Chain A
Amino acid sequence: MSTFIRTLIEQEVLHRRRFLLAGAAGLGAMTVPGVFGKGRAMAATNDPALAWSYRDRATAYWNSVVSGGEAFAESLGKPKSALVNLINEGSSEKSLSDLKSFLAKTGGNCAIACDANDSPNARPVVEAVKAANAYVSTMWNKTDDLHPWDFGDNYVCHMTWSDVKPAEDTARILFEAMGGKGGVVHLGGIAANNPAIERLQGLKNALADFPDIELLDAQPADWDTTKAAALMSSYLTRYGDRITGVHCASDQMAYGVIEALLAEGIDDMPIVSYDGNPEAVKLVQDGKLLATVYTNPYWGGGILTSLAYHAAIGTFKPSEEPNEHREFYGPTVLITQEDAAEFSAKYIDAVPDYDWNDFWGPTNGQIQYN
């Protein structure tokens, strides 16, 4: 625990120091890339500085993403601290201003991985990077009309995840366990969230192939354990024994469902969830969950840093890559009772040794827009 606190403090100190330096460098530095930018060869001779711009390290998810980025930095023989943390604390303005300070400080000789906090913010971020002739790869947030190939080499790539197919896969596992008949209830995330919509859609897609299974109800429990427990209890009153399976849009809600059922003395209900949190993987191993889905944020964080870095040093030229190498879906790993132990040993108990030069191997195809 103390290591966590120490890292947090170190990281905050760095954060502050960098800010002061950036301030000292001043706006003047912003013009430097303008002067040298055009003339500079594609393959920068300098070692580009690395940064990850994201929300907040306190959540397990982002901690994993940035740990991946640090692992990449270490693979270059650098210390973890070589990866600068640009923490936006959920503010798009801070995200953009920190990023501009970083660009100014490094004179554009940098490789950045970034979640722009919200979709509209991705454009100014990418434009600032382009103006400084630096390199950026993005994750999760960007508008549908913003594409890496419109920015030459500077906007290296974008990675996101589609949850429809994995949610459909878990639904199929659930339906098989239910013997292909009965009633299922769904507990969803915050109704307007994209992952919540996609995960429910996945369930509906699977339902089409199982005519004897009825979707009794699908309501949001806002990704919240307590709300999920209360919603599950209410479902039990309304549908009682007609419920023979539960489809949860996240592990966090599945914990609440399991406890609500435990309170009723029900411990054999087939349940599937999503996210692949360590606790959920343990529950899969213990037979309390049928399946969950892991999106490997660690690899995502590392590979986006690697892609931006290698574009910056000229290992490959992004503009010569096909579109599926510029916009792609991240990997998803389905965890079932058969492979949970193996998964746990591979991803949780130990950190796999990733090949950070295998840029696109584990990805899941080009992003499709509706």
Chain B
Amino acid sequence: MGGILSRENIIRWAALLVLLALIALFTALNPAFLSQRNLARIAIAAAPAMMVALGVTFVIVMGSIDLSMEGAVSLAAVLFCLLFVKLGGALLPWGWLAVPVIVLFGAFYGMLTGLVHVRLKIPSFMASLAMGFVGTGAAVMITGGEIVRIGDSTFRMLLTWRILGYPLMVYVAIACIFVALFIQKHTVLGRNFYAIGGGEELAHASGVNVRAVRIAGFALAGAFYAIGAIFQVAKLGQAEAATGANFMFVSITSVVVGGVALWGGVGGVWNAVVGVLIVNVIANGMVVIGLPNFLQDGVLGVLVILAVVLATDRRAVAFVK
């Protein structure tokens, strides 16, 4: 209908086009931008934020919002480090156990957020924001403001071991993206997220257990935050109560820039992936082309608005709140 240049097609591919245009622009200004080494650098910077963005995408698609990621990432990162050290401080023989335990913990933490939101009937942004504070507070209590370090070189291979020029972490992140895509496209849960986001009453009338799906959505998001936290620890070799700082801004911006609509039902994993790459390409590119730092925040803001304008079909909504 309408051929390749139809409105639907342009909006569908807009985020990707913005990403390609940015890459072309930065490369024209400094060819080093497109070097394999720099792409690897962008990928490393993007990997933890990518996991957090994937998680929050599911929640946003449901038409809710989750702002607990900073606390969730901090707490998961701190607990991961402590558990890892407790299990011997090396990946083998027992340190690896910390990975599934913390991912489960993340899911549990997300489930709590979901329960607070659904059972206590608190709007999701408030419930999740509060749970985020709880997470940060707990991380502060546990660490007493100190830093927990992981020195195990086997675990750090996520960052240091390179295959075809990219660290192992990047491949694991790509695998996680496929898992997220699978959940979105091929599971009942994934389809129910869209059903609820598209029209909650209708979904309910059609027999979807809206409450259960919402709680499951938050739990799934929590599991992805925990994976993000583990990547963050792999990247920095340490965790503290501030490890999750900035993830809220980066992940929500990325998801929206990628074309996921905050009112729910629109966009998905693919948009989040492109969005995270756009935000990281901008951050890296501005330094690489030598943009003065006092201009960087302003330019970031303008580029974000531009990307959202291009990537979201706002004709579909009557009003924006």
Contact = CB atoms under 8 A, between A and B. Distances in A.
B287 A231 contact: yes
B184 interface: no
B147 A237 contact: no
Interface in B135-173: 140-142, 144-147, 149, 156, 159-160, 167
A237 B41 contact: yes
Contact of A240 (B32, B159, B237): B32
B293 A255 contact: no
Interface residue tally on B, bucketed by range: 35 or more
A8 B142 CA distance: 12
Given A58-B145, A237-B32, A237-B41, A265 B287 contact: no
Interface centre among B35, B147, B238 (most CB of A within 10 A): B147
B246 interface: yes
A233 B284 contact: yes
A234 B287 contact: yes
Nearest to A61: B145
B238 to A, nearest CB: 6
A193 interface: no
B283 A230 contact: yes
Interface in B243-294: 243, 245-246, 280, 283-284, 287-290, 293-294
A248 B232 CA distance: 21
A5 interface: yes
Interface string B14-43: 000000000000000010110101100110
Contact of B141 (A5, A226, A263, A265): A5
A237 B283 CA distance: 13
A256 B289 CA distance: 22
A231 B145 CA distance: 24
A238 B288 CA distance: 5
A265 B84 CA distance: 24
B104 interface: no
B245 A63 contact: no
B30 A229 contact: no
Nearest to A8: B141
Interface string A255-290: 110011011110000000000011100000000000
Contacts of A279: 147, 149, 238
A191 B289 CA distance: 20
A232 to B, nearest CB: 9
Contact of B238 (A224, A227, A255): A255
Nearest to B34: A237
A219 B293 CA distance: 6
A263 B167 contact: yes
B284 A237 contact: yes
Contacts of B44: 233, 263
Contacts of A226: 232, 235-236, 243, 245-246
B241 interface: yes
A369 interface: no
Given A234-B284, A234-B287, A238-B30, A224 B145 contact: no
A260 B44 CA distance: 9
A236 B236 contact: no
A47 B105 CA distance: 52
Interface in B182-234: 232
Contacts of B245: 224, 226
Contact of A60 (B30, B146, B167, B232): B146
Contacts of B289: 238
B145 A63 contact: yes
Interface in A50-73: 58-60, 63
Contact of B236 (A225, A264, A278): A225
Given A58-B241, A259-B235, A265-B160, A229 B45 contact: yes
A262 B246 contact: no
Interface in A298-317: none
A231 B284 CA distance: 7
B37 A220 contact: no
Contact of A237 (B35, B142, B242): B35
A4 B241 CA distance: 15
Contacts of A219: 287, 293
A294 interface: no
Nearest to B290: A238
Contacts of A41: none
B159 A237 contact: no
A151 interface: no
Interface in A1-52: 1, 4-5, 8
Contacts of A360: none
A237 B149 contact: no
Contact of A263 (B159, B241, B290): B159
A149 interface: no
Contact of A59 (B37, B145, B149): B145
A235 interface: yes
B144 A4 contact: yes
A227 B296 CA distance: 14
7 contacts: A225-B242, A230-B45, A236-B41, A237-B287, A256-B236, A263-B235, A264-B37
Closest 7 CB pairs of A and B: A234-B287, A233-B41, A237-B38, A4-B144, A60-B145, A58-B140, A219-B293
Interface of A: 1, 4-5, 8, 58-60, 63, 191, 217, 219-220, 224-227, 229-231, 233-238, 240, 255-256, 259-260, 262-265, 277-279
Given A230-B284, A233-B42, A237-B37, 7 more contacts: A58-B144, A224-B245, A227-B246, A230-B283, A237-B284, A238-B288, A263-B41
